[in-house]
């Protein structure tokens, strides 16, 4: 059996969500763990039977026993970690965002083009089973004609409990998930028109809407109102078929007779954090075959660039 020794960088709550899936896969060995201060590394080692605690991620990256690196650090740390480990050419996964600014994202993109290190960036919404089922349905019924994405952030609820440097970059730290879905559903952009306003002293664009024309003739709308009650949702429109995801984890198909059909998520998206299981399967395929047709540092840069364009 093809065996993969994983080195985990980061020990926060999200790391354990990934570890739960690792533990179900027989070809995965939880070999090493490290974190910024290693405060919780020994606890994670004992709890999940890792073989070794590493002093730092550089020691982990050069260890010949490690086949791949799994980076689950806070958004303000990912840039430095990737910048230092990418030269070792070991496949790595990193939770989004890869960097906390367009400048950092460009540096990482250029490093990827230089070293060709296989990587996967964790835009897990792309892997939702309800998204795949909905897209398959529309593909069989004439394809997508239009999309509508709402990315309201409830910013007044979270801005006091996150680090100030992350709060100032919240469009990259969190909202990029929804910006990435613009490109995921719509494809390459031909034209874009943006309206935006800043309504408080934070100097952040907290009300914006944008209209898109994509190169494949799809049209789209994107709205993001951070200081008004709301949430994330996606609506996809085809010929006599519409699909609404509100919340994103649940889908409803509406046909020409206005009858609703619920899109049921796969078992893995119920048992684990949605998208994580299929994302991890893709990462394993990347390690085995050294090929990737899924979100990487180039994809991340394109989403960062669009995020910058929308929120500048």
CATH number of the structural domain spanning residue 21: 3.40.50.720
Residues 198 and 259 in one domain: yes
Please check whether residue 273 lies inside any domain of the structure: no
Please check whether residue 305 lies inside any domain of the structure: no
Distance of CA 5 to the CA centre of its chain: 23
pLDDT of res. 289: 85
Q: Which domain holds residue 177?
A: 129-264
**Beta partners for residue 94, in sequence order:** 71, 121
**169-178 average pLDDT score:** 94
pLDDT of res. 1: 55
Q: How far apart are CA 216 and CA 180, in angstroms?
A: 17
Residues 251 and 133 in one domain: yes
**273-285 average pLDDT score:** 96
C-alpha pair distances (Å), 265 with each of 128, 243, 271: 8, 14, 10
Please check whether residue 251 lies inside any domain of the structure: yes
pLDDT of res. 128: 98
Which of 59-73, 101-115, 157-171 is predicted least confidently? Answer: 157-171
Please check whether residue 14 lies inside any domain of the structure: yes
Map 21-46 to HEC letters. Answer: HHCCCCCEEEEEEECCCCCCHHHHHH
Residues 49 and 65 in one domain: yes
- Kindly indicate the confidence band of residue 163, based on its pLDDT and cuts at 50, 70 and 90: confident
Q: How far apart are CA 308 and CA 102, in angstroms?
A: 7
CATH for 163: 3.30.360.10
Residues 235 and 173 in one domain: yes
291 has a pLDDT exceeding 80 = no
pLDDT of res. 292: 64
Residues 119 and 133 in one domain: no
How many domains, the chain? 2
**273-293 average pLDDT score:** 90
Q: Token pair of 24, please?
A: 């179900």
- Kindly indicate the confidence band of residue 148, based on its pLDDT and cuts at 50, 70 and 90: very high
pLDDT of res. 306: 98
Whole-prediction pTM: 0.94
Residues 105 and 142 in one domain: no
**Beta partners for residue 251, in sequence order:** 245, 263
How do residues 210-266 score in pLDDT, each as one tens digit? 999 999 999 999 999 999 999 999 999 999 999 999 999 999 999 999 999 999 999
pLDDT of res. 160: 66
Please check whether residue 303 lies inside any domain of the structure: no
Mean pLDDT (the chain, rounded): 94
Q: How far apart are CA 25 and CA 115, in angstroms?
A: 29
Residues 111 and 182 in one domain: no
Residues 100 and 165 in one domain: no
Max alpha carbon distance in the chain (Å)? 62
Residues 260 and 139 in one domain: yes
159 has a pLDDT exceeding 70 = no
Closest CA to 105 of 171, 161, 55, 56: 171
Q: Token pair of 107, please?
A: 């540096």
Which helix (H) or strand (E) is 4 found in, with range? Answer: strand 4-9
Residues 10 and 109 in one domain: yes
Residues 249 and 134 in one domain: yes
pLDDT of res. 109: 97
Residues 193 and 242 in one domain: yes
């Amino acid at each position: 059996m093809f065996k993969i020794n994983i080195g985990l960088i980061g020990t926060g709550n999200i790391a354990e969500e990934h570890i739960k899936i690792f533990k179900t896969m027989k070809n995965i060995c939880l070999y090493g763990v490290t974190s910024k201060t290693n405060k919780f590394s020994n606890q994670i080692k004992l709890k999940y039977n890792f073989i070794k605690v590493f002093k730092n991620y550089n020691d982990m990256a050069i260890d010949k026993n490690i086949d791949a690196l799994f980076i689950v650090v806070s958004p303000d740390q990912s840039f430095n970690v990737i910048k230092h480990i990418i030269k070792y050419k070991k496949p790595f996964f990193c939770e989004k965002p890869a960097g906390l600014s367009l400048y950092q994202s460009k540096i990482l993109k250029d490093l990827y083009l230089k070293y060709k290190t296989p990587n996967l960036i964790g835009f897990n919404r792309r892997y939702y089973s309800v998204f795949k089922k909905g897209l398959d349905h529309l593909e069989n019924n004439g394809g997508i004609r239009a999309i509508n994405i709402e990315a309201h952030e409830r910013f007044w609820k979270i801005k006091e409990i996150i680090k100030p440097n992350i709060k100032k970059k919240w469009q990259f730290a969190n909202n990029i998930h929804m910006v990435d879905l613009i490109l995921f559903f719509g494809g390459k952009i031909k034209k874009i028109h943006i309206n935006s306003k800043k309504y408080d002293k934070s100097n952040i664009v907290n009300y914006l809407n944008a209209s898109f024309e994509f190169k494949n003739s799809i049209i789209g709308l994107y709205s993001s109102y951070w200081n008004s009650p709301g949430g994330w949702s996606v609506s996809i429109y085809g010929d006599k078929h519409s699909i609404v995801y509100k919340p994103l984890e649940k889908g409803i198909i509406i046909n020409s007779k206005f009858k609703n059909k619920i899109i049921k998520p796969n078992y893995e998206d119920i048992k684990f954090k949605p998208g994580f299981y299929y994302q991890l399967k893709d990462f394993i395929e990347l390690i085995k075959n050294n090929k990737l047709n899924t979100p990487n540092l180039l994809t991340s840069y394109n989403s960062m660039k669009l995020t910058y364009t929308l929120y500048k």
